[in-house]
């Protein structure tokens, strides 16, 4: 399934403002092979353009195929950028047939698949890092499930660092176009394998 408008590098001015490093996440040191990560640089960063929702679904399917148990994926971007739409495409690619609700109020929506469980977080209404621990969300990370986290910046300092960070943005005026730009970043070796599989098909 080809990805449209794939380019290998992202210009600095196009870099998103919020990075895992700037949020001081709990980086898993044992999984970081490249010292540059400690300086706030991902192991790989790619820019993609998604023309419409069908392209987002195609990207989501490639992401689904590239994920492994234990992966943590941050989904960044403003309201309506397409984070939940991407999750919906991913869940459908994994075989989910029911509705996909945005867990804006429940914060977490779990899904069970043969390959792994998927935990979909939406932290938009998260107030403080204390809530993270009170809710017991750490129990979902670093195990056999895949965690997809919308609005990770709302739980900065508590939410575990990502293997893969995906930032979606409107291309042009919000609502004026269905085109989205995507920044895909690998922050761990596991994330790098995932990003390589998506971008290079290897």
Which residues contact residue 79 at a Cβ distance below 8 angstroms, ignoring those fewer than 6 apart? none
154 binds ligand ATP (CB under 6 A): no
Name which position in 44, 45, 71, 83 contacts Mg ion (CB under 5 A).
83
Q: Is residue 81 part of the contact set for ligand ATP (CB under 6 A)? A: yes
Check residue 183 for interaction with ligand ATP (CB under 6 A).
Answer: no
The C-alpha atoms of residue 103 and residue 187 are separated, in whole angstroms, by 25
Phi, psi of 78, deg, nearest 5: -70, 175
5 touches which of ligand ATP, Mg ion, none (CB within 5 to 8 A by kind)? none
| Contact residue for Mg ion among 27, 102, 171, 178 (CB under 5 A) | 102
User: CA 138 → CA 26, 133, 135, 191, distances in Å?
Assistant: 11, 7, 8, 19
> Within 13 Å, how many C-alpha atoms sit on residue 27's CB side?
26
Q: Rounded to the nearest 5°, which phi and psi values hold at 107?
A: 70, -30
> Does residue 102 bind ligand ATP (CB under 6 A)?
yes
DSSP 35: G
49 binds ligand ATP (CB under 6 A): no
If one asks whether residue 71 binds Mg ion (CB under 5 A), the answer comes out as no
**178 binding ligand ATP? (CB under 6 A):** yes
**Of ligand ATP, Mg ion, none, which one does residue 57 interact with (CB within 5 to 8 Å by kind)?**
none
Residues that bind ligand ATP (CB under 6 A): 50, 52-53, 56, 77, 79-85, 102, 122, 124, 150, 178, 180
């Amino acid at each position: 399934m080809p990805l449209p408008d794939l380019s290998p590098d992202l210009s600095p001015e196009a870099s998103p403002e919020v990075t895992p490093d700037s949020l001081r996440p709990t980086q898993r040191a044992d999984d970081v092979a490249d010292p540059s990560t400690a300086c706030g640089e991902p192991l790989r960063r790619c820019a993609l353009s998604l023309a419409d929702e069908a392209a987002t679904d195609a990207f989501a399917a490639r992401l689904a195929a590239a994920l492994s148990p234990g992966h943590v994926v941050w989904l960044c971007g403003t309201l309506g950028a397409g984070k939940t739409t991407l999750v919906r495409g991913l869940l459908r690619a994994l075989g989910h047939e029911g509705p996909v609700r945005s867990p804006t109020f429940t914060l977490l929506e779990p899904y069970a698949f043969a390959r792994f469980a998927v935990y979909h977080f939406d932290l938009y209404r998260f107030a403080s890092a204390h809530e993270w621990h009170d809710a017991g969300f750490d129990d979902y990370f670093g195990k056999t499930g895949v965690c997809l986290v919308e609005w990770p910046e709302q739980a900065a300092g508590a939410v575990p660092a990502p293997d893969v960070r995906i930032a979606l943005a409107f291309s042009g005026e919000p609502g004026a176009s269905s085109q989205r730009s995507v920044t895909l970043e690998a922050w761990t070796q596991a994330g790098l394998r995932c990003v390589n599989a998506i971008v290079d098909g290897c």
